[in-house]
Amino acid sequence: MARTPGQAARRDPDWEGVRLHVVSGKGGTGKTTLAAALALALAADGGRVLLIEVEGRQGIAEQFGIAALPYEERRIASVSRTQLGLPAGEDGPGEVLALAIDTEQALLEYLEMFYKLGRAGKALQKVGFVDFATTIAPGVRDVLLTGKACEAARRKGPDGRRRYDAVVMDAPPTGRITRFLNVNSEVAGLARIGPIHTQAQAVMRVLRSPETAVHLVTLLEEMPVQETVDGIAELHEAKLPVGGVMVNMVRPPVLDAAAVAAVDGDHREDVALALGEAGLGGRSRKAETVRAAVEPLLDPLLEQAREHAERVELEREQRADLQQLRLPTYELPLLGEGVDLGGLYRLAGELKRQGAA
């Protein structure tokens, strides 16, 4: 189902109707980057999108090159179709807001709402209550975090319309995502009545609805692909809505094994000739001198091509495993110099072109 990058025709996005996009992935695959890119892509048609971070890492701030985010919804970017390299549409630019959820403050806010603690809340904070609470029942923290995302996704403005067209959550990694989202069973051991339970059930209803999609970010390498396959099976089992697979840092195949074999075999002299004519043989006009100058390059270049072909083959296997999942799949290119702000908009453009937004 992978679409070739560069397909420019405007098409219906794959996640029409989804309000809450949860982005997970193995550590090191670029989950935060792609969550940010997806938020930009979703906002490009004039929408308002909220990007939420839950792990207290300030990864969003780092990604956008801004100061650390406070615990409030704050505008961090505006985005238009042309900025993503797409033909302009009828709508004006959209905007992305960001929220870095602070668990401690969220819990106190929550207790305040239901128990009217007043100054006692401060005292609880002092004796390390919040630490204690989230330690003996990590589910409580997860309910707070997912609850905040669900609330934002369903919040309505004074005009009665949704405040956000979409909410994107930079979620915990694949290995923990199902537990994190499956809040109902996480708090099952807790008090059976009371606001946490009611909240967990409300959250679960939103998370299991068609308004939510859980996307997984991977690389074309053994471990991340395996984790993606396992993670999707777990999500299915927990009846959580599986979204798409985002394959990050894809490098275009330049030469395959057959090409390498050709250079190594019959075509060696011919390739040496081409390299010489491309100016790599020095200035001499004598064929033998040029050939001799090219010679020390040939084996190293071949060796690099061989390694490349081997990797292309491994990637082909991993891609085949991903295709077995039969999910919408998006491929994002490796950006040579790392992902700066420009790179982020480029990835957002790719996601939009490929139908993820």
* Binding stretches for other proteins (CB under 8 A): 26-28, 55, 57, 111, 115, 117, 120, 123-124, 127-129, 131-133, 135-138, 140, 179, 189-192, 194, 196, 221-223, 226, 251, 254-255, 259, 262-263, 267, 270-271, 273-275, 277-280, 296-297, 299-305, 307-308, 310-311, 314, 336-338
* Cβ partners under 8 Å of residue 122, min gap 6: none
Nearest approach, Cβ of 76 to other proteins (angstroms)?
21
- Least gap, CB of 203 to other proteins (angstroms): 16
Query: What string of DSSP letters covers 321-340?
Result: HHHTT---EEEEEPPTT---
Is the Cβ–Cβ distance between 259 and 305 less than 8 Å?
yes
Helix, strand or coil for residue 300?
A: helix
How far apart are CB 108 and other proteins at their closest, in Å? 11
CB 254 within 8 A of CB 232: no
Cβ closest to other proteins, residue 91 vs residue 295: 295
Provide the minimum distance between the beta carbon of 41 and other proteins in the complex, in angstroms, as a whole number.
24
Q: State in angstroms the smallest separation of the CB of 306 from other proteins.
A: 8
Residue nearer to other proteins on the CB measure, 1 or 117: 117
Cβ proximity to other proteins: between 309 and 325 the closer is: 309
Let me know: does 24 contact 214? Beta carbons within 8 Å.
yes
In the bound state with other proteins, the residue whose beta carbon lies nearer, of 84 and 107, is 107
Q: Look at the block and give the residue holding tokens 């090191």.
A: 28
Instruction: Give the pairing type, strands 74-79 and 20-25.
Output: unpaired
Pick between residue 237 and residue 307 the one whose CB is nearest to other proteins. 307
Q: Give whichever of 163 and 311 is closer to other proteins, judged by the CB atom.
A: 311
CB of 116 to other proteins, least distance (A): 11
* Phi, psi (rounded to 5 degrees) for 24: -125, 175
Closer residue to other proteins in complex, CB, 211/315: 315
In this structure, the strands spanning 166-170 and 212-218 are unpaired
3-state secondary structure of 263: helix
**245 neighbors 219 (Cβ within 8 angstroms):** no
Q: What's the closest the beta carbon of residue 248 comes to other proteins, in angstroms?
A: 13
Sign of CA dihedral 59, 63, 64, 67: positive
3-class state of residue 135 by DSSP: helix
